[in-house]
Amino acid sequence: MKTVEEIRLQVRGAFSRKPRSQFRPCAYFDDRLDCIRVIARDCSILETRINPMLTVLEDNYYQETGKKQYVGFTLKGARYFCREHNIDLATPIDISKLLDAILAAFPDVAVELFVNAIAKPLVHEGKIDTVDVSGALPQPA
């Protein structure tokens, strides 16, 4: 049986072998949940739903870190939404075009505020241009 110290050394050794990669702002398609996630900063988050399809991601500790409160967002039902708004799923989706479609689909003040004051600045500052959903599409038989 191994001692606590032997286990501690073994765990540290296993984790120290992997080089850490630096976080980069990104947008990705989660195939299993059919959602597009845009994440501008790696941190502990709180998800706040704006409507049945949109969720904003907030930094849990933004007051302590002095950083911005909002760090990303999620669009649920992404395939359906894109098809309904004639956004081609076979090529990378332009995030700006996606945000414009969200504004058109949900003409209310909360969504307009979210897109213009939160989403567009996050995408611009993080240099997040596109999201690729084509790899997750079913292949024709």
Q: Considering the chain, what is the average pLDDT of its residues?
A: 87
- For the beta carbon of residue 113, count every other beta carbon within 10 angstroms: 12
Structural domain includes residue 107 = yes
| CA pseudo-torsion sign 113, 99, 81, 138 | negative
Structural domain includes residue 37 = yes
42 vs 8, higher pLDDT: 42
- Sheet containing 70-76: give its strands across: 26-30, 35-39, 70-76, 54-59, 45-49
Structural domain includes residue 140 = no
Which pLDDT value is given to residue 140? 43
Which pLDDT value is given to residue 3? 80
pTM (2 d.p.): 0.77
The count of domains in the chain is 1
Structural domain includes residue 4 = no
Which pLDDT value is given to residue 27? 94
Domain hosting 77: range is 23-134
Tell me the pLDDT tens digit for each residue of 29-62: 998 999 999 999 999 999 999 999 999 999 998 8
Mean pLDDT of 133-139: 59
Quick one: pLDDT band at residue 17, thresholds 50, 70, 90? low
In angstroms, the CA 2 to CA 131 distance is 47
Percent of the chain with pLDDT over 90: 66
Structural domain includes residue 1 = no
Asked if the model's pLDDT at residue 16 lies above 80, the reply is no
Tell me the pLDDT tens digit for each residue of 85-99: 999 988 999 999 999
Structural domain includes residue 8 = no
Which pLDDT value is given to residue 57? 96
Quick one: pLDDT band at residue 13, thresholds 50, 70, 90? confident
In angstroms, the CA 126 to CA 66 distance is 18
